[in-house]
């Protein structure tokens, strides 16, 4: 899918509007999405690794990887996208690890959050900041 | 069904019993997010792959829920434990109801 | 065309980096040093080569655009599964064996396996069989389709054409770019050279202003490369699809705020020959990954 510059700007402006809102409004959108995944439980920090580039050359294709030993599922959330949810991995009995990689769209520089659901029913989280550059000609 | 959809998977031809093998998959698909408008200003409806699964000999290894934030031509890399020779079954589910499948066998070394 | 002294360029780069530091974006030095482009742990591609004599010192050496990318983008090209272009090269390979047109032929009917095409991409563009025109690979493909297969010509930037040129370029991967610029090609090369150094658009920019005078510097938040075309067609992360040489030219000219030439035009074919000749000795990378 190809975002034109105008569309990318529109997405970016959406982000600015959101940033101008009172903080709880913005926080609640991500928190609500995480709570929907955890059933309201508050995840502990650590126990899940999220690998993402510090700088993404193009926000349309950003490689990310999650790794959470002992997890049954890992969900990824983007705090600065029009829709918060990104991807959820559920590991089955044939899984060889609790690791998975994919490529995602990030509308602008933002924090990406990974939340893991562990076998014992507890939840773990971590986050990473990805700077999305707008190219000169490529952008 | 979206046009030009083609799955591609990379699976080792053989493994030793109990070995963990790395699988890579990619499917060509526009992953239309539903966030865009056409030149006439009309919203372009969402059409994405919303789910991907990998089973090995009937047992699930990975079940993925995709949102519109997953990039065009969705790519996944993950590990599967191979305890016996058998067949991998990969399935991609499109918003429009289409299902795309691929199968690959593996032998024990 | 004399290149600005190295130090002045370095300073300009540092200033651009300092300006960007204000917006909290780190500008890494370009091009990267001490890295090799090895695909699938087996095919080493030449990403630096001595500048061809015709450049007369305008470039210190010629460098692949791969060297100007961030780690994640470079890594994506080093494995034929991680490289998303390969699914389109696979589609091109399927087309190679697909019959089309009134004669009931496929490419393979005349040419055999697509592997027989090894070397073709390295010499493109070249003078047409009749000797009176300069043809890009797209022209050769469409000539076969219309005269031998009795099929419709494909659009220059159609999916079918890009998939086919991707599959064809892949056959020449690792071979050095080696285009003929003498004999009947000479006037085309001269025309292409003239276009390369002509300022276009409201911004009054020639190809050389960015890709010769300022490669390695930042243009806003992007790294300027030498504008080499040895990696084409490329998979662009921006469009998440293949982009042809002429389509990239069109994008550059448009960015100068000029009316652009059309993909397939005589101007862009001449420019393609000249730009290819600036990358003599670099490996055909077909199909590369760029942002």
Compute the nearest-CA separation of B37 from chain A (Å).
8
Range of the domain at C135: 86-171
Residues C39 and C73 in one domain: yes
Query: Residue B107 has which token pair?
Result: 């032998």
pLDDT at C219: 86
Beta strands at A55-56 and A123-132: parallel, antiparallel or unpaired:
parallel
Domain count across chain B? 1
pLDDT band at A22 (very low <50, low <70, confident <90, very high): very low
- Domain endpoint, select from C171, C195, C211: C171
Range of the domain at B10: 6-108
- Which residue carries 């690998």 as its tokens? A51
Using a pLDDT cut of 90, give the percent of chain C over it. 84
The whole-angstrom separation of Cα B33 and Cα C187 is 48
DSSP assignment of C9-76 = HHHHHHHHHHHHHTTT-----SS--S--EEETTTEEE--EEEPPGGGTTSSSEEE-GGGGS-HHHHHH
| Lowest mean per-residue pLDDT among B3-7, C26-30, C91-95, C156-160 | C26-30
Compute the nearest-CA separation of B83 from chain A (Å).
9
Query: Does position A112 have pLDDT exceeding 60, yes or no?
Result: yes
* Domain locations along chain A: 5-132
> So what CATH class is A5-132?
mainly beta
Which residue from A61, A134, A137 is facing C240, i.e. has the nearest CB?
Answer: A61
pLDDT band at C22 (very low <50, low <70, confident <90, very high): very low
pLDDT band at B3 (very low <50, low <70, confident <90, very high): confident
The whole-angstrom separation of Cα C196 and Cα A129 is 40
The whole-angstrom separation of Cα A41 and Cα B50 is 26
The answer to whether C6 is annotated as binding is no
Contact flag B8-C240 (C-beta cutoff 8 Å):
no
Using a pLDDT cut of 70, give the percent of chain C over it. 90
Which residue from B33, B56, B65 is facing A1, i.e. has the nearest CB?
Answer: B33
Q: What 8-state DSSP symbol labels residue C144? A: I
Q: What 8-state DSSP symbol labels residue C200? A: B
Residues C226 and C275 in one domain: yes
Please tell me the pTM assigned to this model: 0.86
- Domain endpoint, select from C171, C193, C211: C171
Domain count across chain C? 2
pLDDT band at C176 (very low <50, low <70, confident <90, very high): very high
- Which chain B residues are Cβ-neighbours of A96 within 8 angstroms? 20-22, 61, 78-82
pLDDT band at B2 (very low <50, low <70, confident <90, very high): low
Residues C57 and C91 in one domain: no
The answer, for A113 touching chain B at a CB cutoff of 8 Å, is no
Q: Across residues B39-43, what is the average pLDDT?
A: 90
Looking up residue B51, the CATH number of its domain turns out to be 2.60.40.10
- Which chain A residues are Cβ-neighbours of C78 within 8 angstroms? none
Residues C27 and C137 in one domain: no
- Which chain C residues are Cβ-neighbours of B4 within 8 angstroms? 91, 159
- Which chain A residues are Cβ-neighbours of B36 within 8 angstroms? 1, 3, 7
Instruction: Determine the straight-line distance between the first and last CA of chain C, rounded to whole angstroms.
Output: 29
Give the pLDDT confidence of B92-103 residue by residue, as tens digits.
999 999 999 999
pLDDT at C74: 94
Looking up residue C65, the CATH number of its domain turns out to be 1.10.760.10
Residues C196 and C281 in one domain: yes
Q: ipTM above 0.90?
A: yes
Give the pLDDT confidence of C107-140 residue by residue, as tens digits.
999 999 999 999 999 999 999 999 999 999 999 9
Nearest CA to C79 out of B22, A114, B101 is that of: B22
Identify the burial level of C226 via C-beta atoms within 10 angstroms of its C-beta, where 0-12 means exposed, 13-18 middle and 19 or more buried: buried
Tell me, yes or no, whether B25 lies in a domain.
Answer: yes
Query: Which residue of chain A is at minimal alpha-carbon distance from B57?
Result: A94
Q: Is C94 in a helix, a strand, or coil?
A: helix
Contact partners for chain C, using 3 or more CB pairs closer than 8 A, are A, B
pLDDT band at C30 (very low <50, low <70, confident <90, very high): confident
Contact partners for chain B, using 3 or more CB pairs closer than 8 A, are A, C
Beta strands at B7-10 and A110-118: parallel, antiparallel or unpaired:
unpaired
- Which residue carries 């969705």 as its tokens? B74
pLDDT at C222: 83
Residues C77 and C162 in one domain: no
Q: What 8-state DSSP symbol labels residue C177? A: P
The answer to whether C173 is annotated as binding is no
Using a pLDDT cut of 70, give the percent of chain A over it. 77
C-alpha torsion angle, residues A100, B106, B72, A98 (rounded to 10) = -10
pLDDT band at C27 (very low <50, low <70, confident <90, very high): very low
State the alpha helices, DSSP H only, in chain C.
Answer: 6-21, 71-76, 86-96, 107-111, 137-143, 159-171, 186-196, 207-211, 245-255, 266-277
Tell me, yes or no, whether B1 lies in a domain.
Answer: no
Write out the H or E segment, with its range, that includes residue C90: helix C86-96
Q: Which of B29, B35, B55 to mutate to test the interface with A (most CBs of A within 10 A)?
A: B35
Which residue from A11, A86, A100 is facing B77, i.e. has the nearest CB?
Answer: A100
Q: Across residues C204-217, what is the average pLDDT?
A: 95
Residues C117 and C211 in one domain: no
Compute the nearest-CA separation of C101 from chain B (Å).
20
The answer to whether C214 is annotated as binding is no
Q: Which of C84, C88, C98, C287 to mutate to test the interface with B (most CBs of B within 10 A)?
A: C84
Q: What 8-state DSSP symbol labels residue C145? A: I
pLDDT: which is higher, A22 or C221: C221
Residues C184 and C283 in one domain: yes
The whole-angstrom separation of Cα A124 and Cα A45 is 6
The whole-angstrom separation of Cα B55 and Cα B52 is 10
Nearest CA to C268 out of C212, C192, C177, C171 is that of: C192
């Amino acid at each position: 899918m190809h975002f034109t510059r105008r569309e990318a700007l529109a997405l970016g402006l959406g982000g600015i509007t959101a940033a101008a809102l009172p903080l709880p409004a913005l926080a609640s959108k991500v928190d609500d999405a995480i709570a929907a995944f955890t059933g309201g439980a508050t995840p502990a920090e650590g126990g899940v690794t999220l690998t993402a580039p510090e700088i993404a050359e193009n926000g349309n294709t950003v490689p990310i990887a999650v790794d959470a030993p002992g997890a049954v599922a890992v969900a990824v959330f983007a705090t600065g996208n029009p829709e918060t949810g990104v991807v959820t991995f559920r590991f089955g009995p044939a899984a060889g690890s609790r690791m998975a990689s994919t490529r995602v769209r990030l509308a602008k520089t933002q924090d990406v959050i990974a939340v893991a659901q562990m076998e014992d029913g507890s939840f773990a989280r971590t986050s990473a900041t990805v700077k999305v550059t707008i190219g000169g000609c490529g952008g | 069904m979206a046009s030009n959809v083609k799955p591609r998977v990379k699976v080792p031809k053989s493994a030793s019993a109990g070995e963990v093998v790395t699988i890579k998959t990619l499917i060509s698909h526009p992953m239309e997010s539903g966030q865009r408008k056409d030149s006439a200003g009309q919203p372009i409806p969402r059409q994405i792959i919303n789910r991907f699964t990998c089973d090995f000999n009937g047992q699930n290894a990975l079940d993925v829920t995709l949102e519109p934030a997953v990039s065009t031509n969705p790519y996944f890399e993950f590990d599967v434990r191979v305890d016996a020779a058998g067949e991998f079954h990969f399935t991609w589910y499109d918003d429009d109801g289409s299902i795309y499948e691929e199968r690959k066998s593996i032998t024990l070394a | 065309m004399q290149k600005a002294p190295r130090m002045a360029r370095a300073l300009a780069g540092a200033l651009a980096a300092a300006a960007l530091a204000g917006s909290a974006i780190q500008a890494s030095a370009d091009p990267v040093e001490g890295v090799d482009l090895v695909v699938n742990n087996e095919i080493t591609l030449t990403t630096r080569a001595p500048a061809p004599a015709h450049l007369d010192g305008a470039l210190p050496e010629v460098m692949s655009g791969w060297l100007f990318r961030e780690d994640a983008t470079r890594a994506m090209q080093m494995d034929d599964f991680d490289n998303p272009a390969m699914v389109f090269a696979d589609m091109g390979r399927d087309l190679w064996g697909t019959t089309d047109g009134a004669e009931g032929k496929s490419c393979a009917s005349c040419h055999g396996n697509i592997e027989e095409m090894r070397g073709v991409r390295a010499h493109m563009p070249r003078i047409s069989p009749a000797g009176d025109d300069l043809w890009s690979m797209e022209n050769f493909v469409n000539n076969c389709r219309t005269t031998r297969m009795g099929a419709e010509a494909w659009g220059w930037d159609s999916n079918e054409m890009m998939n086919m040129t991707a599959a064809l370029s892949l056959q020449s991967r690792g071979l050095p770019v080696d285009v003929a610029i003498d004999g009947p090609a000479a006037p085309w090369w001269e025309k292409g050279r003239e276009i390369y150094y002509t300022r276009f658009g409201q911004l009054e920019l020639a190809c050389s202003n960015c890709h010769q005078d300022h490669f390695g510097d930042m243009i806003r938040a992007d790294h300027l490369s030498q504008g080499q075309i040895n990696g084409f067609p490329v998979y662009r992360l921006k469009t998440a699809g293949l982009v042809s040489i002429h389509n990239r030219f069109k994008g550059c000219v448009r960015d100068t705020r000029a009316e652009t030439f059309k993909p397939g035009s005589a101007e862009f074919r001449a420019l393609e020959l000249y730009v290819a000749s600036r990358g003599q000795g670099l490996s055909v990378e077909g199909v590369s990954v760029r942002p």
